[in-house]
Amino acid sequence: MDRKPNQKVLQLLYLWFIRLESAHQIWDAALRTFYDGSDGTCFFELNQRSFSTKRHVIFMCQREGDDGIAHIIIMQIRKLLSISKRKLSGERSLQNFDIGGHSERMPQPILRAFGILKKCAAKHETLKKRRTKKPLRWSAMAVKKEIEETPYDVNMEYGLDPNVGEAIMQAAQEVAEGKLNEHFPLVVWQTGSGTQSNMNANEVSTIICDQLHNQASAAHTVIANRAAEILGHKRGEKFVHPNDHVNRSQSSNDTFPTVMHIAAAMEINSRLIPSLKILHDTLNSKSIEFEDIVKIGRTHTQDATPLTLGQEFSGYTTQVMYGIERVIATLSRMYQLAQGGTAVGTGLNTKKGFDAKIAAAVAEETNLPFVTAENKFEALAAHDAFVETSGALNTVAASLMKIANDIRLLGSGPRCGLGELILPENEPGSSIMPGKVNPTQCEALTMVCAQVMGNHVAITVGGSNGHFELNVFKPMIACCLLRSVRLLGDSAASFEKHCVRGIEANKERISKLLHESLMLVTSLNPKIGYDKAAAVAKKAHKEGTTLKVMVACYPSLVFVFEAALKIGVLSSEDFDKLVVPEQMLGPSD
């Protein structure tokens, strides 16, 4: 008779094998394996022994006189182990979506958000009255309203056993703290609704709850299984059920977009905005430091009229400030949570008030002003909030690209470039040219900006593909946005610390270029007119001299270009009075 071990048998063997493989011995435990009753039952028990794990399994199977079954078991164990030693979940999805490997796993902010959401779904406590102070201009709490004392029980109010609820909360907290990241092996490239990651989160809690008492249960669970372990139950019992308990009142279709919003809002507030604020402050301090240094301006990459280096840096400062404000302006939509819409936005299988209560619980847990989405159908079917936020990030990337390019060009040289700025020398720049130092921080930042722009294209395509009641590009959209936030936050911090903070002005070089510029002739327009001023500049450029020398020879210049016109000669003294770079920095009185 062809007898094949059922899935539960393989799960039991697999988990037992992992445990013993790591310890290289058999601990105080017994393993019982069962085969489908329809084919007859084969039973054997392993007591504590100090044998090689694989050999012991083979030995015990052979003792039962079934070499074929032994071979099947070992081959299946090897197959499972070849994926990796995962105790709690994810095998089937990884087999079906073996795309990208470890580097393409779901981002950790998503896992943290799953923990927060699942904890809040089971939560039972009182939201204390809190009155917030007037927010700062750039505070992410700017849209936060006063929260009155409101009891919220969420799922425990709706029939979830308090003991189970407390265990789920503890397991979910471990997920939120990153203690169970190893049990989330799934990659971004999976079902477009994020269902597999949602079930990964649900199931991980179940397995972990058995662990305090037993090490013998299934391999497909994180929060539900962990909750069961906390309660002292075996994983296979499903005392804490991933669907009935952890996923109570939820659907992947509203859970994953909620997690997307939680993760994005938390990362923006904790990682991106602080880094941009520090960069803004440093650029502003440089603007003040350089406010008296007059330099030549450039338009179309050609010489233009003067400005101060401080004025130039004030432009960078304002770009970053506006970028911060743009990103924060998008957060009011990001704070709207889809939870409570369930499958298609109608709220089927939830109780009235569940959506508002879980949003309040998430707001309290994260200290961010999350609210339930005004329209759940939009929240499930579209991700315009992500496209909008990504658009703001794209604008920030464009700003930082311009700033980084300006700074590295102004620092080009040291002898044969513009050389107006002296950039920090952080590391050797060339493996062949001794003493060469490159603007590596600018280069890193511009590469990040290019990646963010590419991410925005992907998010735009994903956001436009919300078909009917559900957008199925969710994991990709979330991953790209979180990657943009992380990259911009980290690169802005690095750029500020290792470049902007140490920038110095090369005053001698700036002064030399300023006084050699032909565009100072612009200040002569009111005195001699545009055409004659242009003639002065062209003659000076052709003969390789300065404006002042050309003005001293102005009569011959007039004769050459406008013989019929007779005007007075502009003396050197007149030139000195008219051409004063420090007086060319703004409107005249």
C-alpha 321/C-alpha 104 separation (Å) is: 33
* Whole-angstrom Cα Rg for the chain: 34
Beta-strand runs (E) in 119-271? 125-127, 150-152
User: 474, 382 in Cβ contact below 8 A?
Assistant: no
User: 247, 255 in Cβ contact below 8 A?
Assistant: yes
Active-site option among 38, 82, 103, 300: 300
What is the three-class DSSP state of 322? Answer: helix
C-alpha 245/C-alpha 261 separation (Å) is: 23
Task: For the chain, give the number of residues.
Answer: 589
The number of beta carbons lying within 10 Å of the beta carbon of residue 65 is 9
C-alpha 281/C-alpha 369 separation (Å) is: 26
**Neighbour-count burial of 118, counting CB atoms closer than 10 A to its CB (0-12 exposed, 13-18 middle, 19+ buried):** buried
C-alpha 4/C-alpha 207 separation (Å) is: 25
C-alpha 243/C-alpha 540 separation (Å) is: 82
Our answer to whether residue 139 is catalytic in this structure is no
* Most distant pair of Cα atoms in the chain: their distance: 121
Our answer to whether residue 220 is catalytic in this structure is no
From residue 508, alpha-carbon distances to 56, 418, 422 in Å are: 81, 12, 12
Active-site option among 430, 464, 556, 572: 430
User: 361, 154 in Cβ contact below 8 A?
Assistant: yes
Query: Active-site residue numbers?
Result: 300, 430
